[in-house]
Amino acid sequence: MGHFLKLLFRNRLAALGATVLSALLIVVLITPLLPLPDPNATATAERFARPFTEGHILGTDHLGRDLLSRLLHGTRLSLAVGIAAALIAAIIGSTIGLVAGYFGGRIDNVIMRGIDMLMAFPYILLALAIVAALGPGLMNALIAVAAVNIPFFARNIRGITVGLAGREFIDAARLSGLGHTRILVGELLPNVLPTIVIAMSTTVGWMILETAGLSFLGLGSQPPVADLGSMLGEARAALITAPHTSVVPGVMIFLIVMSINLLGDGVRDALDPRLKSGALSRPRAVTLVDRKGPVPAAEQRGLLDLDALETQFHVGKRVYRAVGGVSLYVKSGECVGVIGESGSGKSVTALSVMGLVPSPPGVITGGAVRYEGEDLLGARYETLRRRRGENVAYIFQDPLATLHPLYKIGDQLIEAIRVHHDTPPKEARAKALDLLRAVRIPNAESRLDNYPHEMSGGMRQRVGIAMAMANDPDVIIADEPTTALDVTVQAQILALLDDLRRERGLAIIFITHDFGVVAQLCDRVAVMYAGRIVEEGPTMQVLDAPAHPYTKRLIACVPELGSGKRKLASIPGLPPVVDNLPEGCAFAPRCDKARDDCRRGAILLAGRGLRAVRCIHPEEAV
Ligand code: ADP
Ligand code: MG
């Protein structure tokens, strides 16, 4: 709750809305206690008194009634009716939505068709019809406004409930023997509650307006009782001669509806963290590049060169240094492993290469990424787009998430081929078939017509690799491609990647958290910690004689078969959060060998030849 309020008040407009609304609520709550004249006492002699006249701060209306008093009493009534209508609509509508969504089938059909019938009538007309049937009066206006808003809640909540009702936790609740009511109230309601609150906070404003509208037409509050709508209605005749009688309730309606809507938007954003982190704001096609320092001088070491790459996430005032100056290169036919714990910046490094880090919040703040010597970070979008897939391709961890669920894999492969080459469909299909064969998919011909969900995880990852190979790239960046697979399938996929590398001279950057995998596949390895490379070198040398204490601990975490019962080591503590890195060595707080000088100054990556380590008290000299 405290967190919610903090998020809410970080939004200035929402805070403004909340302040205005609370002030209004407090004033109307204490209105009966204030020394105000009777709102309905007429004094025709004093009619249409201007504002700020003696005894009437806001003046009087056409019957000489005190406008301030009428305004406060009227606001009280309008707010009460609007909020009551919103509550009624929310409760009835949400219940209908929950029941329809949960039971589904015929119950859903019958209920929702009823709701559709309500929705088929124009909104205001329906409210008018209801009031006409029930007779004018504030209570009937309330019923009408609530009734016409029920479908809005019912539809919203039903949609969400349908999605939730099929989820495993509902099955689990059923299996544990809970009845329908307990599932509806205990399991489903808490999950849809935020949506109900959001829907309410954004509709109270309308409902107040609608009630005011009905009163304006004389169908709501009846004279002499004032509400905001009826005040406006009565002032209509004197709009020109005594404008203050209309302006006073008009300004109040404006204040109420504005503050409720600002607050409502704030509540929605605060309850939906995705909106804050920018997930719903459309990311740019290319990561924002904003290099503060000079671009490092070109020095070509491989086909793909990362040179002091820095990528940050700017979230509010915080700066997360996800990648803090990574230099890495890979040559044709070479496989370079990048290894590190979860959160060490491996994926962000990989995505920065082709400008795939979502911006906002991602920004590349330094360094260079060169493909065949050409800097990709300054490149135009068209250049980058051409290089994506054609020169540098990616394989991701979860093929089920990267393959489109509604297209056959053959069609997806054909599309990948035809994005870059104007291949006739027949030829593209033949090529897709070749690709599936190249990644050793049995019965490739019939597999072309499979949907992703019809394949096993291992097969899907093969398709993922085939997609990456579709345009004969020179570099493949594989981001934990085997993490979701079981060990035997993992071995097959690794063997496949290794074959492809040898057959086609591919350069592979292989990201993993598993030293066992690195040992099988990679020529060289770079160990990442907190966004930096802490050790690198040829795989065998690093494995045999790890120099950084972190590398040593990582290797000790790999279980060995047949080596008897050995206590598996783990690394105590957690990786640091990258918005507030400690001075000196980032690993020092978790390192049992850390000394005082480890916690001071910058520690450089130093070494000879291919070996380098970022540690001033290494386990082994390099
Ligand atoms: P991994 O090594 O597990 O692939 P990542 O590269 O995904 O790690 O993440 C590196 C760091 O970047 C993490 O500390 C993570 O919290 C941060 N990060 C990643 N994406 C975002 C984002 N969209 N907003 C803020 N921080 C992010
Ligand atoms: Mg990752």
| 463 part of a folded domain | yes
Q: Interior CA angle at 301 toward 299 and 305, to 5°?
A: 80
* One domain for residues 122 and 262: yes
Pocket test for ligand 1, best of 347, 529, 550, 574 (most atoms within 8 A of CB): 347
Nearest CA to ligand 1 atom 24: 313
Order of strands across the sheet that contains 392-395: 392-395, 475-479, 507-512, 335-339, 524-529, 532-538, 611-613, 606-608
pLDDT surpassing 90 at residue 607: no
Average pLDDT (264-270) is 82
* One domain for residues 408 and 271: no
Question: What is the 179 CA–ligand 2 centroid distance (Å)?
Answer: 41
pLDDT (tens digit, 9 = 90+) per residue, 394-447?
Answer: 998 887 778 888 999 999 999 988 888 888 989 999 999 998 988 888 888 899
Last residue of a domain, one of 438, 472, 506: 472
- Name the residue range of residue 428's domain: 401-472
pLDDT (tens digit, 9 = 90+) per residue, 198-257?
Answer: 888 888 988 999 999 999 988 888 888 889 999 999 998 888 998 999 999 999 999 999
Query: Across 172-176, 295-299, 421-425, which has the greatest mean pLDDT?
Result: 172-176
Last residue of a domain, one of 250, 275, 300: 275
Nearest CA to ligand 1 atom 12: 322
| Residue 69: predicted pLDDT | 93
* One domain for residues 265 and 414: no
| Residue 389: predicted pLDDT | 83
Nearest CA to ligand 1 atom 10: 345
Distance CA 539, CA 522 (A): 7
Q: What is the overall mean pLDDT for the chain? A: 88
* One domain for residues 262 and 411: no
* One domain for residues 88 and 236: yes
pLDDT (tens digit, 9 = 90+) per residue, 125-134?
Answer: 888 899 989 9
More confident residue, 385 or 280: 385
- Cα distances from 116 to residues 110, 152, 195, in angstroms, run 10, 10, 21
Percentage helix, strand, coil for the chain under 3-state DSSP, each rounded to 5: 55, 15, 35
| 374 part of a folded domain | no
| Residue 567: predicted pLDDT | 65
| 233 part of a folded domain | yes
Question: What is the 514 CA–ligand 2 centroid distance (Å)?
Answer: 12
Q: From the alpha carbon of 528, which atom of ligand 1 is closest? A: 2
- Per-residue pLDDT band for 9 (boundaries 50, 70, 90) equals confident
Distance CA 213, CA 201 (A): 20
CATH number at residue 143: 1.10.3720.10
| 589 part of a folded domain | no
| 387 part of a folded domain | no
* Count: domains in the chain: 2
Last residue of a domain, one of 232, 259, 275: 275
| 544 part of a folded domain | no
Question: What is the 513 CA–ligand 1 centroid distance (Å)?
Answer: 15
- Per-residue pLDDT band for 277 (boundaries 50, 70, 90) equals low
In angstroms and rounded to an integer, the radius of gyration of the C-alpha atoms of the chain is 33
Question: What is the 512 CA–ligand 2 centroid distance (Å)?
Answer: 8
Nearest CA to ligand 1 atom 25: 313
- Which residues surround ligand 1 with Cβ inside 6 Å? 313, 315, 320, 322, 340, 342-348, 361, 578
Paired strand residues for 312: 363
Question: pTM of the full predicted structure?
Answer: 0.67
* One domain for residues 72 and 209: yes
| Residue 592: predicted pLDDT | 84
| 525 part of a folded domain | no
Q: Residues 449, 490: contact at Cβ < 8 Å? A: no
Question: What is the 293 CA–ligand 2 centroid distance (Å)?
Answer: 27
Q: Where do we find the tokens 């003696």?
A: 54
Question: What is the 343 CA–ligand 2 centroid distance (Å)?
Answer: 7
Distance CA 330, CA 333 (A): 9
Q: From the alpha carbon of 320, which atom of ligand 1 is closest? A: 26
| 65 part of a folded domain | yes
pLDDT surpassing 80 at residue 2: no
